[in-house]
Amino acid sequence: MALVELRFPPDAGHVRTARLVASAVARRCGFDVEQVDEVRLAVGEACARAVRRSDDCHVTTAVVLRIDDEPPGLRVDVVDDSAAGPREEPLVLALLKGLADVVELLPGPAGPDGHVRLVWFGDNRPHVVG
Amino acid sequence: MELSVRSRQEGSRTVINVTGEIDVYTAPNLRERLNELVASGHYDLVVDMAGVDFLDSTGLGVLVGGLKRARSHDGTLRLVCDQEKILKVFRITGLTKVFPIHATLADALAAPAGGTS
């Protein structure tokens, strides 16, 4: 089990950094090319969302990306410090639910929905939409 | 990787060649270029995404915006894409029903002009 953590300023230019870290960890824990692409895209979406939410509330606190590769899969947590309320984000949620096996919106440190949890089981089982 | 956006005229069509990653950081460049093209009277757009490595929801939003602008002038915005990882993004979000998507640039250029798909 290994936990990789990245903290980055809520700046759109760093979302790519987060994607690179996530895809490297996914590759390291044995995910195939298609699954690595899913992780890259979903983590990018979750981090871009955190940056937008931070912008909305003029928050400059770092966004935290945590990736835990404890078998049998990968658990990703993206946490922002924004107090932004719920917003319309149908494309983002559709993508997250279409890409990860489990998607949860949890309360963040500063407000509702500030924490996205994504889980991949890494065994090609059918996706659970939730 | 940076995003590169270059456009050229192919008869009545404007082909926009996009290479690199379209994401929350780079998508504003593409939005600006599409807006400029429509504002300068180019309504029949073909976005060639053969060289695109990555597309996120911000990029999708920009493409939908471009399509709406083109359609408001009775034009359209066609996409050229045959990469499974990019097509998947359109499929998951239901946007395969919204955009005319072609496997090759030749197919896109052969499609009828105007707003029909």
Q: Compute the mean pLDDT over every residue in chain A, rounded to the nearest whole number.
A: 91
Interface check for B53 against chain A (CB to CB < 8 A): the answer is no
pLDDT recorded at residue A1: 60
Question: Do the bridges between strand A115-120 and strand A102-106 make them parallel or antiparallel, or are there none, so unpaired?
Answer: antiparallel
pLDDT greater than 50 at residue A125 = no
What pLDDT is recorded for position B88?
96
Q: What confidence category does residue A72 fall into, taking pLDDT thresholds of 50, 70 and 90?
A: confident
Q: What pLDDT shows up at residue A53? A: 96
Contacts of A41 in chain B (CB under 8 A): 54, 56, 89
Q: B58 — contact with chain A (CB < 8 Å)?
A: yes
Q: How far is B9 from chain A (nearest CA, A)?
A: 32
Domains (ranges, CATH) in chain A? 3-120 (3.30.565.10)
pLDDT of residue B47: 98
Residue B88 CB contacts under 8 Å (≥ 6 apart), including other chains: none
pLDDT at B117: 46
The sign of the CA dihedral B103, B104, B105, B110 is negative
- Digit-coded pLDDT (tens) for A50-62: 999 999 999 999 9
Q: Which residues of B touch A42 (CB under 8 A)?
A: none
Helix, strand or coil, per DSSP, at residue B69: helix
For residue A124, what pLDDT is reported?
52
User: What confidence score (pLDDT) does residue B2 get?
Assistant: 85
Q: What is the C-alpha radius of gyration for chain B, rounded to an integer number of angstroms?
A: 13
CATH value of B4-107 in 3.40.50.300, 3.40.50.150, 3.40.50.10680, 3.30.750.24: 3.30.750.24
Q: What is the rounded distance in angstroms from the CA atom of residue A14 to the CA atom of residue A12?
A: 5
Contact yes or no for A34 and B85 at CB 8 A: yes
Contact flag B92-A92 (C-beta cutoff 8 Å): no
ipTM for the whole complex: 0.89
Whether residues A41 and B54 touch (CB distance < 8 A) is answered with: yes
pLDDT tens for chain B, residues 1 to 117: 689 999 999 999 999 999 999 999 999 999 999 999 999 999 999 999 999 999 999 999 999 999 999 999 999 999 999 999 999 999 999 999 999 999 999 999 999 876 554
Helix (H, G, I), strand (E, B) or coil at B27: helix
